[in-house]
Amino acid sequence: MSAIELNNVDISYGDSKVVHGINLDIAEGESFALVGESGSGKSTILRAIAGLAPDWTGRISVLCKPRTHGVERAVARQLQMVFQDPYGSLHPRKTIDAALSEPLAINGVGNRGERVQAMLNAVGLDQRFRFRFPHQLSGGQRQRVAIARALMLEPKVLLLDEPTSALDVSVQAEILNLLKRLRREQGLTYLLVTHNLPVVSFLCDRLAVMRHGRIVEVADVALLKQGKLVEAYSQELLAATEGRVLVGTTS
Amino acid sequence: MANGAPPPSFPSRKGEGGAEPLLSVKNLRVSFPTHRGRVEVVKGISFSVGKERLGIVGESGSGKSMTGRSILKLIRKPGLVTADRMEFDGIDLLSQSEKQMRSIRGARISMVMQDPKFSLNPVMTVGEQIGEALVTHTRLPRREVNERIWAMLDSVRIDDPKRVAGLYPHEVSGGMGQRVMIAMMLIPEPELLIADEPTSALDVSVQAQVLDIIDDLVTTKGMGLILISHDLGLVSRYCDRILVMNSGVVVEECAAGELENASHPYTRGLLAAMPTINEQRDELPVLDRTLWAGT
């Protein structure tokens, strides 16, 4: 069964069309990455799937059900998003407990206290953090809270928008390990947006390289590891990651 | 520095072991008051820079940016900077007045900041901003200033410099903005360039280009460079020598090529925690912060 399916999707912001003709099929349990430089439209695709960028045409299905253009409660229970900046994505005046309980309250799920406790354990946070405010937590701890909040409704699919790029290397390692473990334990499907190819290599099964709102190449991660991506632009990205500049490739 | 400007007579040797390094810092401390007393963010570090490329690496909060800023005396009150010695080309930076510092900043030591979006003046054209640095420190006829601006934009590999000089910062991309900033910092031909995370706000594909430009200009003009970054890989590629900082102290100093053989557990931990393109590990090793807590 496919977890996320996009058929010929175009996405616009007002008059400008930023994403053109995207076709993607992500299987359930798969971890898929969208890579590309800023402005290539990779985050926009996530936002459209999550219902945050409603101006699109084509067809988007989540777990085989066609998606409407807005935010839907039924979809929210199956699909959640984690944002890039843990400093901006948590409400500064709500305790961690309130932030984690809110999705449960909205969706009328009971037994909230226990669920919050269990989730804090699952993301590796001590119970003493439960009644603290975001500003009392470090960046890595906050990103754990953001991941915990996304997982509160036990979704099947997680959209991850640069989940580690605001974090230090050592903290990034912790969060990547956490994401890998959660996926194994809960059988999650990941759609990850990043510009960091080593992260893709660690966490994903397949990747799509994007440029100027189009998918340039879809490849298996094994090819990335061997440096055997086919398209010239993908090679350019790979070279840049290793700190080389390919001659004559400036756009 | 090789061409023009008052020539200070120092031997062009590496900072370490060289007779007279460009900049030497001894026992530098930076502290800020909090309600629990003064907190030291830089705890007595010493280093020297010659006409070479020095990298300072560390995670957020390690004090690397504060080190860079204190060299230019950019730390405002109530922050406090003390040092046994902070000498730049024979000038004692600590005893310089604010006015005297102004003739050093930009002209002899300049600094490239992290994000071009916040560091460029939005209501001045790119050309005016680059020219400003030049006009402040030297007297030149307008036509010559313009020509220097265009030449500088050209040297940071911007096509059509005459058009770009007339643009406002919001009209240029991030990579181009950062190149403009580099142009602005290099036009008075400083002897020492401090680059504080010059590429963190940029895409990977543009990062390499910008660093190549810095590297190229530093080598051809024979300047000293202090590159401050959190990215170990990047620093080891572009520098000669590396200082690794952690919570305000230098935990390791080594030649860039020998980073692989680093001995301090913090450095080793950082290196191991980075995923690689060909990642075979199932789990990344996590820093065990107790290992060096005693040091």
Domains by residue range for chain A, with CATH: 2-241 (3.40.50.300)
Question: In which residue ranges of chain B is pLDDT below 70?
Answer: 1-19, 289-295
Distance from CA of B161 to the nearest CA of A (A): 17
pLDDT band at A248 (very low <50, low <70, confident <90, very high): very low
Cα–Cα dist B251/B265, whole Å: 9
Structure tokens at A15: 């008059």
Looking at residue B203, what DSSP letter applies?
-
Q: A35 contacts in B (CB within 8 Å)?
A: none
Query: Please, are residues A197 and A233 in contact by the beta-carbon 8 Å criterion?
Result: no
Residue B100: predicted pLDDT: 92
Report the first-to-last Cα separation within chain B, whole angstroms.
Answer: 41
Instruction: Find the length of chain A.
Output: 251
As to burial, measured by CB atoms within 10 angstroms (0-12 exposed, 13-18 middle, 19+ buried), residue B281 is: exposed
Residues in chain B whose Cβ is within 8 Å of chain A: 59-60, 174, 203-209, 211-212, 230, 232-234, 237, 269-270, 273-279, 281-287
Instruction: Report in angstroms the alpha-carbon separations of B153 from A69, B2, B136, B177.
Output: 46, 19, 18, 11
For residue A173, give the nearest of B206, B209, B286 by CB distance: B286
For every residue of B137-201, DSSP letters joined together read H----HHHHHHHHHHHHHHTT-SSHHHHHTS-GGGS-HHHHHHHHHHHHHTT--SEEEEESTTTT
Residue A81: beta bridge partners?
A159
pLDDT of residue B133: 82
CA-nearest residue to B158 within chain A is: A250
How far apart are the CA of A150 and the nearest CA of chain B, in angstroms?
22
Indicate the residue of B203, B212, B270 with minimum beta-carbon distance to A38.
Answer: B203
Q: Is the pLDDT of residue A172 over 50?
A: yes
A38, A225, A236: best to mutate for the B interface, most B CBs within 10 A: A38
Please give the Cα distance from B64 to B244 (Å, whole number).
9
Three-class secondary structure assignment of B97-150: CHHHHHHHECCCEEEECCCHHHHCCCCCCHHHHHHHHHHHHCCCCHHHHHHHHH
Contact A184/B at CB under 8 A: no
Q: Which of B205, B209, B283 faces A237 most closely, judged by CB atoms?
A: B205
User: Which pLDDT belongs to residue A218?
Assistant: 95
Token digits of residue B78: 């109530």
- For residue B282, the chain A residues in CB contact (below 8 A) are 180
Structure tokens of B141?
Answer: 């006829």
Query: Which pLDDT value is given to residue B21?
Result: 87
* Residues in chain B closer than 8 A to A241 (CB atoms): 204, 277
- Can you tell me the distance from the alpha carbon of B24 to that of B50, in angstroms, rounded to the nearest whole number? 9
How many CB pairs (< 8 A) connect A and B?
88
Interface test with A, best of B178, B251, B266, B279 (most A CBs within 10 A): B279
CA distances from B216 to B12, B182, B256 (A): 18, 12, 18
pLDDT for A72 equals 85
3-state helix vs strand vs coil in chain B, percent to 5: 35, 25, 40
pLDDT value at position A124? Answer: 87
Is pLDDT at A247 greater than 70 in this prediction?
no
Residue A82 near residue A163 (C-beta atoms within 8 A): yes
> What pLDDT, on a 0 to 100 scale, did the predictor assign at position B4?
43
Contacts of A1 (CB under 8 A, 6+ apart): A27, A28, A63, A64
Q: Nearest Cβ partner of B279 from A201, A237, A244? A: A201
Lowest pLDDT segment from A198-212, A233-247, B5-19, B102-116:
B5-19
| Strand segments (E) across chain A | 2-13, 16-27, 31-35, 56-62, 65-66, 79-82, 157-161, 189-194, 206-211, 214-220
Asked if the Cβ–Cβ distance from A169 to B276 is below 8 Å, we say no
Window 194-233 of A: residues touching B by CB (8 A cutoff) are: 195-199, 201-202, 224-227
Structure tokens at B257: 């090529």
CATH number for the B23-273 domain, one of 2.60.40.1180, 3.40.50.300, 3.40.1160.10, 3.40.630.10?
Answer: 3.40.50.300
| Alpha-carbon gap, residue A33 to A187, rounded angstroms | 17
Residues B28, B45 contacting (CB under 8 angstroms): yes
What pLDDT score does B8 carry? 44
For residue B76, give the DSSP letter: P
Give the per-residue pLDDT at B127.
92
Exposed / middle / buried, residue B70 (Cβ in 10 Å: 0-12, 13-18, 19+): buried
Q: What percent of chain A has pLDDT over 70?
A: 96
CB distance A173–B274 less than 8 Å? yes
Restricting to A residues 36-65, those with a Cβ less than 8 Å away from any Cβ of B are 37-38
Which among A177, A224, A242 is the nearest to B286, CB-wise?
A: A177
With a cut of 60, say whether residue A241 has pLDDT above it: yes
Residue in chain A lying closest to B281 (CA):
A202
* Cβ(A10)–Cβ(A56) below 8 Å: yes
Contact criterion met (CB < 8 Å) for A227 and B277 = yes
The total of other beta-carbon atoms located within 10 Å of residue A250's CB is 13
> Which strands make up the sheet holding B192-196, listed edge to edge?
B109-112, B192-196, B224-229, B53-57, B241-246, B249-255
Q: In what order do the strands lie in the sheet with A206-211?
A: A79-82, A157-161, A189-194, A31-35, A206-211, A214-220
Query: Are the beta carbons of A242 and A228 closer than 8 angstroms?
Result: no
For chain B, the structural domain boundaries read: 23-273
- Please determine, for residue A219, whether its predicted confidence score (pLDDT) is greater than 90: yes
- Would you state the pLDDT for residue B289? 65
pLDDT digit string, tens, across residues B163-219: 999 999 988 888 888 888 888 888 888 999 999 988 877 777 778 888 888 888 888
DSSP state of B250: E
Q: Do A38 and B212 touch (CB under 8 A)?
A: no
Dihedral Cα B13, B14, B18, B20, nearest 10 deg: 80
**Res. A244 pLDDT band, cuts 50 70 90:** low
Closest Cα in chain A to B267: A170
- For residue B126, how far is the Cα from the chain centroid? 21
Neighbours of A38 (CB within 10 A): 17
pLDDT tens for each residue of A24-35: 999 999 999 999
Contacts of A238 in chain B (CB under 8 A): 277
Q: Which chain B residues touch A226 with a CB distance below 8 Å?
A: 278
Q: Please, are residues B292 and B248 in contact by the beta-carbon 8 Å criterion?
A: no
Among partner residues B204, B273, B277, which is closest to A169 by beta-carbon distance? B273
Closest chain A CA to residue B234: A243
> What integer pLDDT is reported at residue A242 of this predicted model?
77
